[in-house]
Amino acid sequence: MRRALELAEAAGSEGEAPVGAVVARDGTLIGEGWNRPISSGDPTWHAEMEALRRAAVHEKNYRLPHTTLYVTLEPCVMCAGALINARVERIVFAARDLRFGAVRSKFRLADSDLLNHRVRVEEGLLAAEAGDILVQFFRRLRQASDAGR
């Protein structure tokens, strides 16, 4: 999760929402990413999606069994769906996303009995640190917006 926090900081320094993610298997990082929808012009370029893409390339397989995704913010519906499709075994997220969170806050997609694959979900690892990065980022955005008025 520490690496995911570093990636979140990188995203924030680029003006993107500060979210970072890594995919690991047996303690080895096989994919990582951070949010880039603004700079890429791609609404699907979330941290989890980039980490999954890189892990799939690394593994030469779109399925990622026996892996864990560590992410600084609870995944959205799109990312939760991708994690299920990739057959990720476990998601560990730091902070809840009360507006868009799809594995605990708004929905429980990852471990739903309605789907053919369930992802184990753990939350709260380094939540204070991840939350602080988000709070500071949005505070800076509001201050910049207020200064521009």
Active site residues: 48
Instruction: Identify the CA nearest to 66 among candidates 88, 98, 40.
Output: 88
Q: Locate the DSSP E strands across the chain.
A: 20-25, 28-34, 68-73, 90-95, 120-123
